[in-house]
Amino acid sequence: MEIGNIYGTKYLKATDIKKPITVTITAVELSELKGQEKIICSFEELKKQLVLNATNANSIAEATGSSDTDNWPGQKITLVTEKINFRGQMTPSVRVRTAGSSPLYKSIWGEHN
């Protein structure tokens, strides 16, 4: 049994994303977490919200074609889990992709429109 399933959190973690999932952004807000302002995204398909780091915020801007967060609601993105180097260790992390994209498909075949 996962401890997170019992005590939970309202924010998405890498362990919450078992396979790529395409979601629709419903709201974007600025909140203070641990003394820092963070962008938080809510989704139609998920109860949990995603706290954006700079990488994911820039990925959403690229995927939606807009760096203005006011234009993000209604846009679709795909959430995936990817291992990243964090403080010298490979750690699972939530990453944002263009809706419907598959990292494996892209790496083998290249992007197709």
Residues of the chain with pLDDT under 50: 104-113
81-to-66, 70, 88, 109 alpha-carbon distances in Å = 23, 26, 18, 20
Question: Cα(80)–Cα(20) distance, rounded to whole angstroms?
Answer: 5
pLDDT of residue 39: 97
Question: Cα(63)–Cα(71) distance, rounded to whole angstroms?
Answer: 12
Residues 60/51, Cβ–Cβ less than 8 Å: no
- pTM for this structure? 0.80
Residues 52/64, Cβ–Cβ less than 8 Å: no
pLDDT of residue 108: 39
pLDDT digits (tens, 9 = 90+) for 33-48: 889 999 999 999 999 9
pLDDT of residue 9: 80
